[in-house]
Amino acid sequence: MAYQRLVEELADQQLLKVEPMPLDAFESTNRLAPPGDMIPFAGVDLLESNAVFFSPKPFTPHLETITRILSGHTETKVTRNPNALGSAVLYHDSFGDYWIPFLGYNFGQVYYLYNNMFKSQFMDAKFLEQEKPAVVMVEVVERFFNVANPKELLAEEVSKHF
């Protein structure tokens, strides 16, 4: 649902001519997964939890997903879709991995760049200038909002590179 709302917002703001993939294009399955990083805060000793995962149904167009190492980033996932145009960059924390099965359907290429929000180097201006994505998105869990001001982080990055 978050993916659908995000893509609708991009279209509403006339940033892109995109439509979200319908949820029924994906098979949802429940399976055990490692717990998230909030479990220790709750004082619970949990080794795995029930989670919902989505995978495209057979009629859904194929997305190529590769893993690359980009300068200054840890492993980076990239989705490629020959049926779409433009590119996007998603800077994200651990929750961003859940966008990978979806966003690639709306862009020719999407870079999913994991970032530790505690670092001062948040966005890579040189990379963005080189790739010239149609849209740059930042996914941040709420508990990081009080850690750093995004405008200050962006200004710091821009001043380093321009």
What pLDDT, in 10s, does the model give residues 17-38?
888 999 899 998 887 766 555 6
CA dihedral 91, 54, 87, 66 (to 10 degrees): 80
In the chain, the percentage of residues whose pLDDT exceeds 90 is 21
Residue 12 lies in a domain: no
Residue 136 lies in a domain: yes
Give me the mean pLDDT over the 62-75 stretch: 77
Residue 151 lies in a domain: yes
Structural domain of 103: 60-161
Q: What is this structure's pTM?
A: 0.75
Q: 48 φ, ψ to 5°?
A: -155, 160
For residues 71 and 76, give the distance between their C-alpha atoms in angstroms, rounded to a whole number: 10
Instruction: Report the 10 Å Cβ neighbour count for 143.
Output: 12
Residue 25 lies in a domain: no
Residue 152 lies in a domain: yes
What is the model's pLDDT at position 88? 94
Residue 82 lies in a domain: yes
Q: Which residue has the tokens 């760049």?
A: 113
Give me the mean pLDDT over the 142-157 stretch: 72
Residue 64 lies in a domain: yes
Residue 144 lies in a domain: yes
- Give the chain's domain count: 1
Q: Is the pLDDT of residue 115 over 70?
A: yes
